[in-house]
Amino acid sequence: MGVHTSKHDAVAHPESSMPLYFFDIKDQDRFSEDDIGIECEPREDVRDAVIEALPDFARDLRLENSDNTITVTVRDEAGKIVFHASLTLNAGWLDDSGPPPPVDRV
């Protein structure tokens, strides 16, 4: 699964000389290994793409416990890990009443 963000949406082309990077995503329940990759040049765009995408991944978390960490690990074309970033979300009720009942959304 390729990670594509609005600012860094890219598709690999065989004739391109831009480096290809793969963004693997892990949280407590899931691991998604990127088998598509995106082209990033300069290398700082790898960092920017990961940091820009982490909050979007956090919104998709199933908040079944109070501590949730999402980690993105970036591999280059040779499979070497070149960058990683994590985002931790700690959430919990501060009283004994627990969560409110679910609201039907239309």
- Please tell me whether the overall predicted TM-score, pTM, comes out greater than 0.75 for this model: no
In the chain, which residue ranges form alpha helices assigned H by DSSP? 44-59
Distance in angstroms (rounded) separating the CA atoms of residues 6 and 48: 12
Domain count, the chain: 1
Which amino acid appears at position 43 of this protein? R
Count CB atoms within 10 A of the CB of residue 85.
15
Residue 9 counted as domain residue: no
Residue 5 counted as domain residue: no
Residue 84, beta-bridge partner list: 73
Distance in angstroms (rounded) separating the CA atoms of residues 88 and 16: 36
Find out whether the peptide bond into 42 is cis, omega within 30 degrees of 0. Answer: yes
Residue 13 counted as domain residue: no
Contact 3, 32 (CB under 8 A): no
Contact 77, 19 (CB under 8 A): yes
Q: Which domain holds residue 55?
A: 20-90
Residue 95 counted as domain residue: no
* Phi–psi pair at 39, nearest 5 degrees: -85, 135
Counting Cα atoms < 13 Å in the Cβ hemisphere of 105 gives 1
pLDDT per residue as tens, the chain (106 positions): 444 443 334 444 456 688 999 999 998 888 999 999 999 988 899 999 999 999 888 777 665 566 788 999 999 999 999 999 999 888 777 887 766 667 776 6
